[in-house]
Structure 1
Amino acid sequence: MEKRSTHIPSPKKLLYDRIAEQGTVSKSDLLQTFSLTKSTMTRILDEMTEEGLLIECGFGESSGGRRPILYQINPSYGYIIGLEISRLYSSLGLFDMQMNPKSIVHWRMDQAFTPERFMDHVSSQIRAFLRDHQLVDSQIIGIGIGAVGPLDRENGLILKPLHFPSSGWNNLPICKLVEERTGFKALLDNGANSALLGERWSIRHASIQHMLYVHAGAGLRYAMMSHGSIVHGTMDTEDAIGQMIIQTDGPRLNNDGNYGALEAFVSVQALEQSARSEAKNDNDLILQRYKVSPEKLTYDVLVQAFRDGNPHARELFTQAAIHFGIGLANVINLLHPETIILGGALIHSHELFFQTAVEVAQRNTYRYPEYQPHFTLGTLKEEAVVTGAAIMVRNQMVL
């Protein structure tokens, strides 16, 4: 079972998080939020300014007396690195304390990206970031990792990731490896949780408290937020949505998991298997048009055919979107979030996939249309995971 932290944030950390969330805040704003005396508040703000955590950024509107000083967190107090480890693409980003991206790189994962080569690449990119921005190691607060699960977050392990292109990733002590190669403290969470943290940060001023993030790509992943906090279970359940049964006695993906599970209908591998199976039994127009054999009928070929208007490809993606919408409705009916963010390769394959999935989910959502959540592709998209991973590090800073 996951250990629960008993650390109670200090008043300084609570103030820092509040100011980071709000952007710019006056002392009177903070006094209305926290049960601190005016003298204590003044002392703490002065200390944080002297330490470089905060900077004064002008004056607010006067309510009759002197205009109040406005505070914001100091963006250059330190820098945080966010790392995404995923099946198809991975990313690395350098952020200041206000989560402004200074540099972000993405790369395609393939069979050559064993953990050793992956760490070589990450270490090299980090050193390039530091050189490009003239930073030294002491300015780096830490590295946040958003990785494909399942994970042991407490011990920093990637356990048994499914459908990974290369070997060597099972029971991998990723935090230890990152710390040994870079010298920076590393924290781990799954990619869906990280993406949700990042996307929520991008719309923080909307004060949304209940959110759902679902990623449909090489696998299905999801994360939930309630009252502004990520919902964690006793186990890492990022991929649990893929095992939701939507058809009794239905197929299994790669002879693994539940029969009739959502991932058997909605995933890159499910689409490839369906297309290859049908192509072998028919004079397939996709094979003729793109001059490939059934074994070479990859997801990239299917996406291109879909975008080119091929009716067979359109039907494949439409059926996947319908199944996805059913699974999405089941999750929505449990949480009833205000905002639902959809991401991943399938979601971005074509606007029709997103539209179909949303329409099906709405039709099967309890109390719709009285209850109408907002569906969105998000604002950060492919940069959501690295941003959220960096936010995780800042959230766990001890002040």
Structure 2
Amino acid sequence: MPNDKKQRIDAANRIPSPKAKELFRDIRRMQEIAKNDLLASSGLTVSTLTRVLDELVSIGVITESGLGASTGGRRPILYRVNGGYGYAFGLDISRVSSRLVLLDLAGNKTDAKEWRMTEETTPEALLKQVAAQAGEWMDKHHIAWDRIIGMGVGAVGPLNREDGIIEDPEWFAAPGWNHVPIVRMLEERLGFPVLLDNGANTALIAESWANRTKNFRHMLYVHAGTGLRLGMMTDNKLIHGAVDMEGSFGQMIIQADGHPYRTPQGNYGALDSYASVYAIEREVNSKLRIGRGSVLRQWLPPGEPAKYEDIMQALNRMDPMVTEIVTQAAAYFGIGLANLLNILNPEKVILGGPLMTESNLFFYTATQTAIRKTYHYPKYQVIFSRGTYGDEAIAIGAALMMLNQLTV
């Protein structure tokens, strides 16, 4: 990192006026907006609007971008966010891979990097790589330290957002991921503000940003991978429970006398035991052990278990056994999803994670099952999507979470 660090600047203090923050929030929602439209939507007088816009221009967070089309009088001035004013890093800490992205103030991706999470990727090892990469990008893109607004982190839970601690996550390949004061560790290395939330929430922030002009009030994000992770949003505000609830969806009981959970802390018959990467691997290897035929037998050395990557290759070859198991897992996922829809009634559900992004079969089976089992269908209909940002959603949302602090 640069050696000329100054006293850190909190994002919330960069725009001091409450009116300016509110107006900047409105401008951020649009690629470009005319002064006349801001006058109509803000409820401000012409003189107050002009004064607040001048304040935002003088700070540097917005810029005049030209003149709009005339509606009979003088052509209106257009405004847009000045992307070069500042930058935010977004870090995704997940079990299989972690990512770092760099966004400008307008939400445009400037750079990205991915790391595989191996048995050597302890917190110290990962954060050393993250800090080095952040410094390299600042040099590469000629970004001064005071133009860094901060870093957002979307991590596997459970976690303590207020204290900035990753608490007791399961299934990391490397040791040391319990009770990690990730915010303090990053701030000491980087010297600028860091915010923490669970990865499902930051992914939902990203997808809400992608849909910001469509006025969805109630949205869900569900991540289907090594485990199942959930985020909820109402009126563009994340819903945080009394404790971090990211993994609660996976603990939904769908068969009370069903499979035991993979650790002693979980529920018997939990959805995670039927509709996760772990569940699919378990079922495939169980069938292989009892002699079921599969193309996997031609690929794997004797006695070696099939991994998720092998199973997806077999699915792409339309292997009958693998297709049957993935279809069944997706149907179970759809049942769990229907339970969520019946309780929460969201307008849009974004489905992310490797099971969704890498398998059309899983996505379509799960969503069709959920639709068939949703109460009040077809009167109540929900929009399903695999999202805009794919595997980068968690990291991009983490950076946007930090950029959002300008208007807090």
TM tier relative to shorter chain: over 0.9
Give SS of 1:323's match: helix
1:48 paired with 2:56, answer yes
Compared with structure 1, are the counterparts of its residues 152 and 53 closer, same or farther at alpha carbon in structure 2 (3 Å cutoff)? same
Compared with structure 1, are the counterparts of its residues 343 and 398 closer, same or farther at alpha carbon in structure 2 (3 Å cutoff)? closer
Q: Partners of 2:135 and 2:305 in 1: how far apart?
A: 38
Cα RMSD for the two superposed structures: 1.8
Task: Name which of structure 1's ranges 357-366 and 273-282 shifts more when overlaid on structure 2.
Answer: 273-282
1:396 corresponds to? 405
Q: Indicate which of 58, 65, 76 corresponds to 2:66.
A: 58
Task: Name which of structure 1's ranges 120-129 and 258-267 shifts more when overlaid on structure 2.
Answer: 120-129
1:140 corresponds to? 148
2:162 corresponds to? 154
Give SS of 1:155's match: coil
Q: Partners of 2:222 and 2:358 in 1: how far apart?
A: 15
For structure 1, list consecutive stretches of 5 or more residues without a partner in the other structure: none
Compared with structure 1, are the counterparts of its residues 250 and 200 closer, same or farther at alpha carbon in structure 2 (3 Å cutoff)? same
Q: Deviations over 1:89-110 (max 9, x none)?
A: 1110111101100101122212
1:319 paired with 2:328, answer yes
Q: Indicate which of 213, 226, 232 corresponds to 2:221.
A: 213
1:233 paired with 2:241, answer yes
Q: Partners of 2:68 and 2:296 in 1: how far apart?
A: 65
Q: Indicate which of 242, 248, 262 corresponds to 2:256.
A: 248
Q: Deviations over 1:39-80 (max 9, x none)?
A: 222111111111211100111233333111111111111111
Report the residue type matching 1:301 in the other structure. D
Fraction of identical pairs, as percent: 45
Q: Partners of 2:128 and 2:103 in 1: how far apart?
A: 21
Give SS of 1:245's match: coil
Report the residue type matching 1:22 in the other structure. M
1:127 paired with 2:135, answer yes
Q: Partners of 2:302 and 2:116 in 1: how far apart?
A: 24
CA shift, 1:235, in A, is 1.2
> Does the aligned pair in 2 maintain the 1:215–1:222 contact within 8 Å?
yes
Report the residue type matching 2:143 in the other structure. L
> Does the aligned pair in 2 maintain the 1:85–1:146 contact within 8 Å?
yes
1:25 paired with 2:15, answer no
Compared with structure 1, are the counterparts of its residues 9 and 296 closer, same or farther at alpha carbon in structure 2 (3 Å cutoff)? farther
Q: Partners of 1:291 and 1:376 in 2: how far apart?
A: 34
> Does the aligned pair in 2 maintain the 1:279–1:294 contact within 8 Å?
no
CA shift, 1:278, in A, is 2.6
Matches within 5 A, 1:1-399: 10-256=18-264, 257-282=266-291, 284-397=293-406
Report the residue type matching 2:154 in the other structure. G
Q: Deviations over 1:300-348 (max 9, x none)?
A: 1111111112111111111100000000111111122221111111112
Q: Partners of 1:398 and 1:31 in 2: how far apart?
A: 19
Q: Deviations over 1:117-137 (max 9, x none)?
A: 101111121122112212122
Report the residue type matching 1:387 in the other structure. I
Task: Name which of structure 1's ranges 277-286 and 152-161 shifts more when overlaid on structure 2.
Answer: 277-286
Aligned residues: 393
Task: Name which of structure 1's ranges 337-346 and 250-259 shifts more when overlaid on structure 2.
Answer: 250-259
Q: Partners of 1:100 and 1:292 in 2: how far apart?
A: 45
Q: Partners of 1:68 and 1:9 in 2: how far apart?
A: 24
Q: Partners of 2:263 and 2:36 in 1: how far apart?
A: 61
CA shift, 1:284, in A, is 4.4
For structure 2, list consecutive stretches of 5 or more residues without a partner in the other structure: 1-11
CA shift, 1:140, in A, is 0.7
> Does the aligned pair in 2 maintain the 1:253–1:270 contact within 8 Å?
no
Report the residue type matching 2:363 in the other structure. F
Q: Deviations over 1:183-239 (max 9, x none)?
A: 121001111111111112112222222111111001100111112221111111011
Report the residue type matching 2:220 in the other structure. L
Compared with structure 1, are the counterparts of its residues 41 and 287 closer, same or farther at alpha carbon in structure 2 (3 Å cutoff)? closer
CA shift, 1:274, in A, is 2.0
Report the residue type matching 2:226 in the other structure. A
CA shift, 1:295, in A, is 4.3
Q: Partners of 1:139 and 1:149 in 2: how far apart?
A: 30
Q: Partners of 2:115 and 2:37 in 1: how far apart?
A: 43
Q: Partners of 2:316 and 2:69 in 1: how far apart?
A: 53
TM-score (normalizing by structure 1): 0.94
Give SS of 2:196's match: strand
TM-score (normalizing by structure 2): 0.92
